[in-house]
């Protein structure tokens, strides 16, 4: 018997499809002709399967719809799974999750009695509740990660402690995937989170509910979640197909829409398509979050220098949003991996929480130059422990002219530290980089203000006028 992944890969290729149809029967919504059948649920499912078997990558019956009908419903489920053509995988949507002995019984039921190829599992009870499913190495285990329902944010987005719970689940999925049979359930209604999890788990298959009646955007979900091959997603649609006037036409339209988006992404120029999008995807995800919390704003502002600006950056807000602060810290870490240093040196005040988060990510000690020397106690100019001769890399939130960086760099050098590199989140592109280079320092920015604005524009999160105003402000056109 072929494994779940073997079936899935083969069907995706043969049917050229990432479409999964949810077989969720509701007697009140079925066409009247099925009510006259002695086994209406099975007859209805059979008609859907007959009409769509060459258009799908999988079928997904949700066990709740069958349990609600009692013994007759469960018998219909058994017949439905047996009726699906042998090469097409069946995902039993059961969302099981319980203590070890109970989980063993659930696993036997899903894989030995119902004969499902995969099952959805709630991982919140931990490894011992998931492990009985994982022992069936030829079957798929799809862990709930970031689900499509509105209440998903109640728990799945909570920090644990430095990143959301759903990211911890994704990391555990990779850890538990020793047999190569683990996937994740990722709702299409949360494309930002979908992109983040794809970065963590580039090769896992994701079951993606939420397109259609739940409001998930198909293009956004594919853009966020397709893997480097243009696959990796099992896009589930239920009511939009099974209760359509013509289920085959509805399924074919969705399959073709999926393929059109896939083809466009795979054919995109280097740096824009699926295979080359990872760094860009990380940047765009982070930029969306910065705008969401109000750290990036557009309008008419007056800067500290008195100059007008069409954009305002307030990264002090990161301290109130630990989930976004953690993302920012990881972005800094990617830059720091290329540098040699002993200590981090954060410039007060906006960079202090950033520096602390980066220190926690890297395990490197943090120091910071005071804006003014203490007039009491130790009268320190530099807070924290260090030894003269050590190398420090300076962290700040943004750079404009570079004046504040020069002051901090001077303090650190006077204390005997070796300093050459400065890392910021955003370069405002107003001479700061050149100013530092003239003094022998190197600037490393996670992104420029132009890259940030262009990312927001591509995502449709700012207007054309807002983009044009910033580019004009920077002396650019386009």
Q: What digits encode the pLDDT tens for the residues 277-332?
A: 443 456 777 888 899 899 999 999 987 767 889 999 999 999 999 988 988 998 89
- Residue 304 CB contacts under 8 Å (≥ 6 apart), including other chains: none
| In a shared domain, residues 97 and 145 | yes
Residues 57 and 171 occupy one common structural domain:
yes
CA distance 90 to 376: 72
Same domain, 16 and 41: yes
- Show which of 269, 296, 325 is a domain's final residue: 269
CA distances in angstroms from 197 to 28, 172, 242, listed in the order given: 38, 12, 30
Q: Is residue 138 part of a domain?
A: yes
Q: What pLDDT is stored for residue 225 in this prediction?
A: 93
* pLDDT for residue 192 is more than 50: yes
Asked if 464 and 453 touch (Cβ cutoff 8 Å), the reply is: no
* Pairing mode, strands 140-146 and 118-121: parallel
Selection from 104, 95, 90 nearest residue 147 by Cα: 95
Q: Note whether 265 and 284 are same-domain residues.
A: no
DSSP β-bridge partners for residue 146? 186
Q: What separation, in Å, do the N-terminal and C-terminal C-alpha atoms of the chain show? A: 57
Q: Enter the pTM of the model.
A: 0.62
Does residue 78 sit in the same domain as residue 168?
yes
User: What one-character DSSP code corresponds to residue 269?
Assistant: P
Catalytic residue among 7, 95, 405, 433: 95
> Same domain, yes or no, for 56 and 92?
yes
pLDDT digits (tens, 9 = 90+) for 133-156: 999 999 999 999 998 887 887 888
Q: Within a domain: residue 478?
A: no
Q: How many whole angstroms from its chain centre is CA 459?
A: 15
pLDDT at 161 over 90: no
Q: Which of 236, 269, 302 is the last residue of a domain?
A: 269
Answer yes or no: 78 catalytic: no
Do 204 and 297 lie in a common domain? no
At residue 376, does pLDDT exceed 60? no
Both tokens assigned to 361: 């990510």
Percent of the chain with pLDDT over 90: 70
Residue 352: CATH number of its domain: 3.40.50.2020
Decide if 466 contacts 298 (C-beta within 8 A).
yes
pLDDT at 386 over 60: yes
Q: What is the pLDDT of residue 427?
A: 95
Residues above pLDDT 70, as percent of the chain: 94
On whether residue 274 sits in a domain, the answer given is no
Two tokens at 212? 């259609």
Distance of alpha carbon 422 from alpha carbon 344, whole angstroms: 10
275 part of a folded domain: no
- The CATH number linked to 157 is 3.20.20.70
55 assigned to some structural domain: yes
Q: Are residues 466 and 325 in the same domain?
A: yes
DSSP state of 137: T
Q: What domain range is 131 assigned to?
A: 4-269
pLDDT at 274: 53
Q: How does residue 12 score in pLDDT terms, banded at 50, 70 and 90? A: very high
pLDDT recorded at residue 215: 74
Residue 204 lies in a domain: yes
Same domain, 120 and 206: yes
pLDDT band at 1 (very low <50, low <70, confident <90, very high): low
Q: What is the largest distance, in Å, between two alpha-carbon atoms of the chain?
A: 90
In this structure, are 324 and 441 located in the same domain?
yes
Identify the weakest region by mean pLDDT among 15-19, 256-260, 274-278, 399-403.
Answer: 274-278
Domains held by the chain: number: 2
Domain membership of residue 348 (yes or no) is: yes
Read off the pLDDT of residues 336-352 as tens digits, 9 standing for 90 and up: 988 899 999 999 888 99
Q: Which residues pair with 159 in a beta bridge?
A: 164
Q: Do the domain assignments include residue 447?
A: yes
Q: Is the pLDDT of residue 362 over 90?
A: no
Question: Domain check: are 67 and 199 in the same one?
Answer: yes
pLDDT of residue 154: 83
Count helices and strands (H / E) in the chain: 19, 16
SS3 state of residue 367: strand
DSSP 8-state assignment for residue 315: G
CA distance 185 to 147: 6
Q: Does the bond joining 161 to the residue before it have cis omega, within 30 degrees of 0?
A: yes
pLDDT in tens, 464-478: 999 999 999 998 765
| Domain-ending residue, one of 246, 269, 292 | 269
Phi (first) and psi of residue 206, to 5 degrees? -115, 130
DSSP 1: -
pLDDT for the residue numbered 277 = 42
Does 184 share its domain with 325?
Answer: no
């Amino acid at each position: 018997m072929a494994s779940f992944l073997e079936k899935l890969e083969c069907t995706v290729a043969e049917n050229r499809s990432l479409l999964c149809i949810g077989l969720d029967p509701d007697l009140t919504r079925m066409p009247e002709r099925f009510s006259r059948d002695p086994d209406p649920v099975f007859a209805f499912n059979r008609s859907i399967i007959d009409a769509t078997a060459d258009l799908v990558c999988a079928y997904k019956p949700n066990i709740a719809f069958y349990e609600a009908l009692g013994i007759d419903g469960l018998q219909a489920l058994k017949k439905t799974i047996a009726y699906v053509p042998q090469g097409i995988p069946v995902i039993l949507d059961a969302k099981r999750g319980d203590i070890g002995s109970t989980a063993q019984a659930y696993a036997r039921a899903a894989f030995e009695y119902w004969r499902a190829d995969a099952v959805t599992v709630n991982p919140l009870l931990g490894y011992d509740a998931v492990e009985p499913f994982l022992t069936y190495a030829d079957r798929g285990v799809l862990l709930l990660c970031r689900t499509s329902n509105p209440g998903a944010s109640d728990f799945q987005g909570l920090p644990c402690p430095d990143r959301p719970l759903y990211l911890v689940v994704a990391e555990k999925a990779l850890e538990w995937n020793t047999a190569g049979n683990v996937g994740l359930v990722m709702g299409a209604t949360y494309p930002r989170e979908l992109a983040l999890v794809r970065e963590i788990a580039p090769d896992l298959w994701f079951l993606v509910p939420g397109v259609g009646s739940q409001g998930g955007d198909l293009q956004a979900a594919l853009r966020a979640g397709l893997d480097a091959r243009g696959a990796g997603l099992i896009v589930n649609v239920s009511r939009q197909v099974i209760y359509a006037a013509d289920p085959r036409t509805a399924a074919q339209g969705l399959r073709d829409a999926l393929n059109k988006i896939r083809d466009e992404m795979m054919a995109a120029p280097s740096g824009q398509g699926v295979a080359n999008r990872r760094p860009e995807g990380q940047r765009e995800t982070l930029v969306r979050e910065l705008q969401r919390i109000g750290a990036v704003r557009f309008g008419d502002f007056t800067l500290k220098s008195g100059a007008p600006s069409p954009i305002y950056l307030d990264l002090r807000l990161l301290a109130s949003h630990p989930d976004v602060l953690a993302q920012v810290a990881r972005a800094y870490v990617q830059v720091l991996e290329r540098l040699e240093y002993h200590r981090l040196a954060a410039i007060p005040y906006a960079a202090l929480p950033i520096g602390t988060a980066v220190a926690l990510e890297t395990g490197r000690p943090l120091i910071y130059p005071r804006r003014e020397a203490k007039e009491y106690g130790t009268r320190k100019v530099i807070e924290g422990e260090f030894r003269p001769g050590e190398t420090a890399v300076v962290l700040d939130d943004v750079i404009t002219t570079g004046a504040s960086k020069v002051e901090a760099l001077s303090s650190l050098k006077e204390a005997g530290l070796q300093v050459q590199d400065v890392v910021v989140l955003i370069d405002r592109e107003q001479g700061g980089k050149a100013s530092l280079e003239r003094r022998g320092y190197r600037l490393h920015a996670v992104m420029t203000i132009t890259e940030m604005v262009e990312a927001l524009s591509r995502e449709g999160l700012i207007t054309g006028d807002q983009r044009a105003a910033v580019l004009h402000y920077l002396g650019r056109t386009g």
